[in-house]
Structure 1
Amino acid sequence: MVKETAYVVLFRGVGGDTQLPVKRLREVLTEAGFRNVATYINSGNAVLSSSASEEEIVARVAAVVSEKMGFGKSVFARSAAEWAWAVDANPYPQAVETPTKLHLYCLEREPDPDRVAALQEKATGTERFVVKGRVLYLHTPDGMGRSLFAPKIEPTLKVPMTARNWRTALALRRMVEAL
């Protein structure tokens, strides 16, 4: 029997006018052959298990959700082990008490060090960030809605990404570890 791996799957650009109904998403992913599919709130979060690689999961999920649901946004996947590492590697442990002010960004790839340095020069307010591999942590003490820095992250790093607040990051960890 082929060993399956549990994954966190994140959809970019869900919210506001762009909805991804979770019941239908679970059905579509299950019909596509993924196992143990579960979703978390309507902001584009799922967990599943599969014997496919991360790259295969991203491609298959993106294709089936586009075809069956008309949703054509980027998809990110992280194994349960990588997600647990990302949560455990949080450089802002003091911020977990206000989980809506700490954010975990999944990056498509590790950013160029020169781009990270350029981003550091733009971090002039209260926000602080750290990049570790394909993860960026952002602490926004004044809140994400007030952040003038957060909108500069992706254009400066030039890497596709999606972010989740710490409450969601922890919920997804519990869900993926339960698979």
Structure 2
Amino acid sequence: MTTTYAALLRGINVGGKKKVPMAELKKLLSGLGHGGVQTYLNSGNAVFTSDSDDQDALAAGLEQAIEAHFGFTVSCLVRDGSYLGAIAGACPFPAADLEAKQLHVTYFSEPVTEDRFAAIDQQAFLPEEFRLGDRALYLYAPDGLGRSKLAEALNKPSVNKGITGTSRNWNTVLKLVQLTGGA
């Protein structure tokens, strides 16, 4: 059975580092035998189809191909459309009432618990807030991610030790749902 997936690449094309042109990413994914390959924005989002149901193996294959082609490592997550749709549908914040720059989702490589974030005093960051979901964290940052002190605290290596996480704004979350048929 063919499934549509989104590949979420972490930390590419930011500040001139780890440049991965989207045309080359498309070629890499096609070269791995995936179909229907398309990219979205220049920030590491690709959609493709595959007969594999092993998302971790798909991510590992893409990571290896990127390292072989570009000479640097890039962490990748691969998620199917139904998962992406479920994450968008479970948003604990009133997404329809917010600007897209105010709402973000960080996708994680594995489940996360409140314990991981226990050292963060959420009250100290209000009105910014975060909530956990299924291998995801929803962040409400009313002044945007670039000015978010809570995002800075959530992104510390001590908090994210041992897991891969990559964030997308709400517009990108919804577009990936659409592109993967996860609605």
TM over 0.5: yes
1:76-125 CA distance string (max 9 Å, x none): 11111000001111111246530011001101111243123333x24522
Shift of the 94–172 alpha-carbon distance from structure 1 to 2, 3 Å rule, reads closer
**Contact 1:102–1:137 (Cα < 8 Å) also in 2:** yes
- Residue 145 of structure 1 aligns with which residue? 146
Q: 1:171 aligns with which of 146, 170, 175?
A: 175
User: Quick one: structure 1 residues 134 and 123, their matched pair in 2 at CA, closer, same or farther if it must change by over 3 Å?
Assistant: farther
Superposition CA RMSD, Å: 1.7
Q: Is 2:87–2:134's contact at 8 Å kept on the other side of the alignment?
A: no
3-state DSSP of counterpart to 1:118: coil
Structure 1 residue ranges (4+ consecutive) displaced by more than 3 angstroms after TM superposition = 94-97
TM-score after normalising by structure 1: 0.90
Which residue of structure 1 lines up, in the alignment, with residue 86 of structure 2? 85
- Establish whether residue 75 from structure 1 lines up as the match of residue 76 from structure 2: yes
The aligned residue for residue 47 of structure 1 is 47
Contact map agreement 1:123 1:149 (CA 8 A) in 2: no
Instruction: Give 1:13's match in structure 2, choosing from 11, 14, 29.
Output: 11
Q: CA deviation at 1:69?
A: 2.7
Equivalent residue pairs, number: 175
Q: Which moved more, 1:86-95 or 1:139-148?
A: 86-95
The DSSP-based 3-state class of the residue aligned with 1:38 is strand
Deviation, structure 1 residue 70: 2.8
Q: In structure 1, the residue corresponding to 2:46 is in which secondary structure?
A: strand
**Which letter does structure 2 place at the counterpart of 1:145?**
G
TM-score, normalised to structure 2, is 0.88
Which residue in 2 is equivalent to 1:23? 23
| Alpha-carbon distance in structure 1 between the residues aligned to 2:141 and 2:46 | 25
Percent identical among aligned pairs is: 32
